[in-house]
Amino acid sequence: AKKSGRNRFSFFTAGMRDAAWARMKLIDELRHALPQRQLDVYYQPIVELARGATVKAEALLRWHHPQAGLMLPDSFIGLAEETGLIGEIGDWVLGQAAALAREWAARQGGPFQISVNKSPVEFMSKTPVRNWDTYLARDAPGQQCLSVEITEGVLLNDSPWVRDKLASLHNCGVELTIDDFGTGYASLAYLKKFKVDYLKIDQSFVQDMDSGGDSRVFAETIIVMAHKLGLKVIAEGVETAEQRDWLKAAGCDYAQGYLFSAAVPAADFMALLGAAP
């Protein structure tokens, strides 16, 4: 930068300074987002394909930012992970989901499960289990009304603290879903070892399906393999009736996507139950 002259150098540093300042401001705002009740959890229905009934939902975090408006997780989860705020935020999401799963199960008169995303950071930190077990034993007494979604990378990191946290969730009846399946290592060895319950086929494969070819072969293979191992399969990002019909014919158990509904606020979710296309 020195050789590029005084003006370019100062332009560069000013840009850097602005970016660093914007980042620090966002971190500060994120720190206050939870106490100031700006965070919200939206729910996307998950449909059982054989019956066309909504039997589960995925919890998806939202931030009602006072200036920027509705912010999607991809724009702030990374910051939450870097700053460690994800611990407190993740616990809060789990608590919200646990309470609602029980409420919706009661109102539907049958089992209802909510699936919560957990960041690798929440598993990989060496800090002891964030008392998930005591807290879940109170909120969700073994009704399998909760599932936790993690990516394959978490299981490949075969460390004692990851195993402890998975075991404590399992002991409370929380099921385990492998998210974005097929985009990572897709190693099979860990599926049995960690008592995985669901594989979620990544939306990139679902959206490629219409053009035929490899994505269909891939999805079929996952479904057959998962069933042989005693696991259930969820397809995400289902946007068309053709994708739904193909997945149903291939034996896929569950689907979610804009065809059924985008994620909606908790208050609007009840209206969606029983109205799957």
Binding residues (CB under 6 A) for ligand C2E: these are 44, 60-61, 72-74, 77, 90, 93, 117-119, 179-180, 203, 236-239, 257-258, 263
Interface with Ca ion, residue 253, by CB under 5 A? no
Residue 159 CB, nearest distance to ligand C2E (Å)?
19
72 half-sphere exposure, CB direction, 13 A CA radius? 4
Nearer to ligand C2E among residue 264 and residue 270 (C-beta): 264
Q: Does 122 bind Ca ion (CB under 5 A)?
A: no
73 binds, among ligand C2E, Ca ion, none (CB under 5 to 8 A by kind): ligand C2E
Assess 179 for contact with Ca ion (CB under 5 A). yes
- Helix, strand, coil shares of the chain as percentages rounded to 5? 50, 20, 30
Contact, 8 vs 1, CB < 8 A?
Answer: yes
What residue number has its CB nearest to ligand C2E? 257
C-beta of 86: minimal distance to Ca ion in Å?
15
258 binds, among Ca ion, ligand C2E, none (CB under 5 to 8 A by kind): ligand C2E
- Least Å distance between CB 144 and Ca ion? 18
Nearer Cβ to ligand C2E, position 172 or 263? 263
Tell me phi and psi for residue 130, to 5 degrees: -75, 60
d(CA 182, CA 222): 9
Cβ proximity to Ca ion, 152 vs 179, nearer residue: 179
Report if residue 180 touches Ca ion, rule: CB under 5 A: yes
* Footprint (CB under 5 A) of Ca ion, residues 129-158: 149
Greatest extent of the chain over all pairs of C-alpha atoms, in Å: 72
Burial label, 14 (beta-carbon count in 10 A; 0-12, 13-18, 19+): exposed
Alpha helix (H) residue ranges in 60-179: 77-83, 86-108, 120-124, 132-139, 152-156, 160-171
* Residue 239 binding result from ligand C2E, Ca ion, none, given CB thresholds of 5 to 8 Å by partner type: ligand C2E
**3-class DSSP assignment, residue 120:** helix
Q: How far is CA 186 from the centre of its chain?
A: 18
Q: Which residue has the tokens 């069933």?
A: 227
Q: Please report how close the Cβ of residue 179 comes to Ca ion at its closest, in angstroms.
A: 4
Q: Which is nearer to ligand C2E, 60 or 196 (CB)?
A: 60
Which residues are near Ca ion by CB under 5 A?
117, 149, 179-180
